Chain A
Amino acid sequence: MTAARRLLAGLNRQPRLVAAALLAPGTLWLLVFFFVPIAVVLAYSFMTRGVYGGVTRGFTLEHYRRFMDPLYLTVLRRTVVLATSCTVACLVAGYPVAYVIARAGRWKNLLLFLVVVPLWTSFLVRTYAMIFLLRDTGFINSVLVALGLIREPLVLLYTPGAVLAGLVYGYLPLMVLPIYVSLEKLDPTLLEAAEVLGARPAARFWRITLPLSAPGVVAGAMLVFIPALGAFLTPDLLGGAKQMMIGTLVQNQFGAARNWPFGSASSFILMAVVLVAVLGYLRLRERSPMEVVG
């Protein structure tokens, strides 16, 4: 018996050791590249800004107080509203897509592939493509002018609508996939049972399909809502300065404005919003898919 085999045999008798060994790489990675930076950012958010950027030691709540300014609260509100609208739009657009794919039989894999294809290109490239679509001389305006429907190009770019369109475009697959998975698992006999018990198509959807795909809906909503909250590229490129979102704000503070402590504080406020959303998700998941009241 070689030393390696002896070691493995020993490990097999020590399930806890095996678990620890399997967890070690991921834990180490998270520790070094996630928790440490977060701790650093948290510490920065209470320090003062250095003269040439960076931070100087000390403790202050100034940056959190500064964020309470209506200017920044407006940014936060706009961010939450946009991220929520984006999530709702993705749900409304994504659920039917997932529903059709789950019932598409042999076309299933091809359709799933098509949903995922946009993720193969860089997010930046896709956002620029949106600019070409939306700008004054862009595709949409050119077509509308050419058809004689409008004389002056519509203002599409640098509007909240443009940001929303860009976010929905970017995150739609993240909504479709988990909903698809939960619909795919749904036993079709349950729908037949409901039909024989008297349920018409609408009743079958609201009473059976939707409740049983709720875990997918909630997961998809989280996957879309959280990155949409922190998005900075899309609002920056499609929204311009007027449509600043909190992600853009944080990016500016660490970049051009060189105010790392304020950027850190803004980040933590964003994280607080995400945390509230996730806690909401966990409460929802506890209740669904069980609808046992009655």
Chain B
Amino acid sequence: MTDSGPQSSSPVVQLSRATKRFGAVTAVDAVSIDIRRGEFFSLLGPSGCGKTTTLRLVAGLEEPDDGEVRLLGEVVNRRRPYERPVAMVFQNYALFPHLNVRRNVAFGLEQRRVPAGQIRERVRRALELVRLDPETYAGRTPAQLSGGQRQRVALARALVIEPAILLLDEPLGAIDLKLRKEMQLELKALNRQLGITFVYVTHDQEEALTMSDRIAVMNQARVAQVGTPAEIYENPRTAFVADFIGECNFFAGAVVERHDGLATVAREDGLRFRIPAGGGMAPGRRVRIAVRPEWHDVWRPEEVPPTENAVPGVVRDVVYLGETVHVIVRLPECVDARIALRNEGQLIKPVPWRAGDRVSVGWLPEDCQVLEEE
């Protein structure tokens, strides 16, 4: 729909230090986000992190106490939802129970004084777009539909008004897993096909990774990190992000020396490991790193290659998961590390480790993410 790619155009949604308080509680705290045209952008975080309130600030259902909300370049802080170029799909669909499917979908067009003939045609197209047969469903009331069908009607009702920005508040939360996976792919396809900017709220990290062009991970009313799914997974900036998106093992210590682009870190128990030495890795600085389970190796203590970091431990359990085998190792600091080994058939079968084995948990110095303080 647009000839300029998402990268080149100015932000469609721009929050600048947007803040919303409810009494003594700050629900959204100085959040700044730029969302590009046509992007599938997710707000991801645990419940109560402020993601829904952020979405409502964009919708105009809440007014910011501080900061700025810009849509298509204009400040809209005090504009009501009906004066904004947005449409929204609510968590529980919020279909009008006294109107049938056709009247529900037509609602936004009627408010815009679209001629009746056009309404009929656009409603039909919107229902076909979300793959609901107009012949069968247009006359039904929301009570006569399944959860998945209601979901589609809510989507059609929002899309039919051709908004610049579509806001979705955990729209797939209430439908079963199989249908949810299907809808995820459909939503992503609709985003591509229509060129509408999608802002998607979810607490499901897998869902966010599957669908999003970029994700803002939120925690305690703030944005913890914004990035593509790969950036967030590979380079989580904080322990919260590392832990919330996928699984992580954490190691901490203080820098003792720098050498050849590597910094050596000493743990409290004296064990040392090496990390890539970026700027500011001066001796004495405390660091915390995150290592993904699949970045680890498990070695017999005497077989650890000298290039790898290693922390000793005792195997507590081996969990067979088909594609991967998880080895759970109890570390000296009484924390369990989870190590994911790819199931490469012959290599793993039989799994060489059993509960009680003394092992070393190894990883290459570059296979870790140095975390920022939160």
Question: A residues bordering B, Cβ < 8 Å?
Answer: 187, 189-190, 192-200, 203, 207-208, 211-212, 288-292, 294
Looking at the assembled complex, report how far the CB atom of B242 sits from the nearest CB atom of chain A, in whole angstroms: 35
- Is there an interface contact between A189 and B94, defined as CB atoms closer than 8 Å? yes
Q: State A292–B61 Cα separation when bound (angstroms).
A: 28
- Is there an interface contact between A189 and B82, defined as CB atoms closer than 8 Å? no
Looking at the assembled complex, report how far the CB atom of B158 sits from the nearest CB atom of chain A, in whole angstroms: 8
- Is there an interface contact between B141 and A292, defined as CB atoms closer than 8 Å? yes
A-B contact pairs, 7 of them (CB 8 A): A190-B97, A195-B81, A196-B60, A197-B87, A198-B161, A289-B97, A292-B103
Residue in chain A with minimal CB distance to B163: A196
Chain B residues with CB under 8 A of A288 = 98
Among B5-13, B104-112, B183-191, B320-328, which stretch is in contact with chain A? B104-112
Q: State A10–B363 Cα separation when bound (angstroms).
A: 72
Looking at the assembled complex, report how far the CB atom of B61 sits from the nearest CB atom of chain A, in whole angstroms: 6
- Is there an interface contact between B97 and A207, defined as CB atoms closer than 8 Å? no
Please tell me the size bucket of the interface on B. Answer: 20 to 34
- Is there an interface contact between B92 and A294, defined as CB atoms closer than 8 Å? no
- Is there an interface contact between A290 and B98, defined as CB atoms closer than 8 Å? yes
- Is there an interface contact between A211 and B111, defined as CB atoms closer than 8 Å? no
Residue in chain A with minimal CB distance to B61: A192
Q: State A208–B111 Cα separation when bound (angstroms).
A: 13
Q: State A207–B90 Cα separation when bound (angstroms).
A: 19
Chain B residues with CB under 8 A of A189 = 90, 92, 94
Residue in chain B with minimal CB distance to A211: B98
Looking at the assembled complex, report how far the CB atom of A241 sits from the nearest CB atom of chain B, in whole angstroms: 48
Chain B residues with CB under 8 A of A192 = 61, 81, 90, 94
* Cβ-defined partner of A195 (8 Å) among B61, B99, B100, B102: B61
Q: State A235–B87 Cα separation when bound (angstroms).
A: 55
Q: State A290–B59 Cα separation when bound (angstroms).
A: 29
- Is there an interface contact between A291 and B99, defined as CB atoms closer than 8 Å? yes
Q: State A288–B99 Cα separation when bound (angstroms).
A: 11
- Is there an interface contact between A291 and B98, defined as CB atoms closer than 8 Å? yes
Q: State A207–B102 Cα separation when bound (angstroms).
A: 15
Residue in chain B with minimal CB distance to A289: B98
Known contacts A208-B96, A294-B102, A198 near B82 by CB under 8 Å: yes
B139 interfacial by beta-carbon distance below 8 Å:
yes
Chain B residues with CB under 8 A of A291 = 98-99, 103
Known contacts A187-B94, A294-B100, A196 near B139 by CB under 8 Å: no
Known contacts A207-B107, A294-B106, A196 near B82 by CB under 8 Å: yes
Looking at the assembled complex, report how far the CB atom of A262 sits from the nearest CB atom of chain B, in whole angstroms: 47
Q: State A195–B61 Cα separation when bound (angstroms).
A: 9
Q: State A196–B71 Cα separation when bound (angstroms).
A: 15
Chain B residues with CB under 8 A of A294 = 99-100, 102-103, 106
B80 interfacial by beta-carbon distance below 8 Å:
yes
Chain A residues with CB under 8 A of B51 = none
> In chain B between 74 and 103, which residues have their CB closer than 8 angstroms to a CB of chain A?
80-82, 86-88, 90, 92, 94-100, 102-103
